[in-house]
Amino acid sequence: MDMRTILERLIGFETVSHMTNVPLIRWVEGVLADAGINSTLIFDASGQKANLWARVGPDDVPGVILSGHVDVVPVEGQTWTRPPFALTQEGGRLYGRGTTDMKGFDACAIALMLEAAKRDLKVPLILALSHDEEVGCRGVGSMIDAMAAWPVPPRFCIVGEPTGMEAAIGHKGKVALRVSCTGRAGHSSAAPHALNAIHLAMDFGAAVRGLQAEIASAGPFDAEYDVPYSTLHIGKIHGGVQVNVVANVCVMDMEIRALAGDDPARQIARLEAAAEAIVAPLRGRFPEAAIEVERLWDYPGLGTAPGADVVVFVKGLTGGNAHLKVAYGTEGGMFAQRLGLPTVICGPGAMAQGHMPDEYVELAQLARCEAMLAALMARCEAGF
């Protein structure tokens, strides 16, 4: 089965993160099984999500992991001119949700595994497909935990997120936070006798913006990023029931995207101190006044050294000389931090097309990815 056929099937599975991915995973398991490749599936507690890993080659030699996720972002609210969950070719482009982010790479990696099963590899290739990457890399952790118990640890990891087939050595980490503001309800005609939780949230938002301005001015900085410093962002806010009621609850969801090496705990501590400074003067009249900062989930940044063996290795596969750092997050930081695994991001397409209506990947990019993976297989046959 060739890459194009595999990609067409993968796009046809509607694996938006809030939906099950099991039919896709079972299909991949079956395709690999037909080629004599055994897969290990790791389900979440609901049984509706699963990770898959599969190996071709010896068990007693450190292998190369090809990591990809199979969930995609929603299409609701977007204006598509082509069916999002069917593969459409126009000119040199393939359209469909996930073509770039990142089922294009997944299809190339699966096709490679099918071909590798016919070869005598001296270094194993390991396919790792995960769920729920688009909602914070929340699925891959159970697979990484399983890999930590392998008697022979992997050698390298290549995460196939879209980089234009250049070697990406870094991305920021992310922490998702929930900020819950508690005031006292009342009738709006007597608003000064109540405590408006929405106003507390606005004061907290001002503190967030102040901290962001300070970071933008003082750093730390990494000039290899388009935004060369850590960022704070409030993405969602909910509070109040109607206009004539003073809200007693307001909840905000926000994030911190931190440079690798810039511990987000420092920013969280600053936010907690700002929250306390806002509510402390109010507690005499309103003992229930509170702004609580809750850490929901996180993933670490990636900071692979430009001269690391894995970077040199991947550049040798692609024929490229440059490296870059990407604005988006990946599971790469988790492989590097939790397994100590040298990791590079390299895959077809550009994230400028990801998450967009009429998402597409160029056939030329997929061809470059296939060429890189063919070179990888040749190295694995030769024993590196």
Cα separation, 296 vs 279, in Å, equals 22
Element (H, E) at 28: helix 22-34
Domain 3-171+301-382 has CATH 3.40.630.10: yes
Average pLDDT, the chain: 97
Q: Could you read off the pLDDT of 215-252 as tens digits, one per residue?
A: 999 999 999 999 999 999 999 999 999 999 999 999 99
Question: What confidence score (pLDDT) does residue 261 get?
Answer: 81
Q: Largest alpha-carbon pair distance within the chain?
A: 80
> How many alpha carbons fall within 13 Å on the CB side of residue 57?
27
Q: Where are the alpha helices (DSSP H) in 184-226?
A: 197-218
Please provide the DSSP assignment of 38-88 as one string: -EEEEE-TTSS-EEEEEEES-SSS--EEEEEE--B---TT---SS-TTS-E
Within this chain, domains 3-171+301-382 and 173-299 share the same CATH topology? no
Residue 52 predicted with pLDDT over 90: yes
CATH topology for 173-299? Alpha-Beta Plaits (3.30.70)
If we measure between CA atoms, which residue out of 376, 372, 379, 375 comes closest to residue 105?
A: 372
Q: Is the pLDDT of residue 384 over 90?
A: no
Q: pTM score, two decimals? A: 0.92
Domain residues of the chain, as ranges?
A: 3-171+301-382, 173-299
- Please report, in angstroms and rounded to a whole number, the separation of the first and last CA atoms in the chain: 27
174-180: average pLDDT: 97
Residue (of 26, 34, 13, 15) closest to 52 by Cα position: 26
Long-range contacts of 187-191 (CB under 8 A, 24+ apart): 187/244, 187/245, 187/246, 188/243, 188/244, 188/245, 188/246, 189/244, 191/246
Residue of 146, 110, 57, 158 whose CA lies nearest to 381: 57
Mean pLDDT of 81-86: 98
Q: pLDDT digits over 277-328, tens only?
A: 999 999 999 999 999 999 999 999 999 999 999 999 999 999 999 999 998 9
* Predicted confidence (pLDDT) per residue in 328-340, tens digit: 999 999 999 999 9
What is the predicted pLDDT for the residue at 260?
Answer: 83
Residue 50 to residue 18: CA distance in whole angstroms: 13
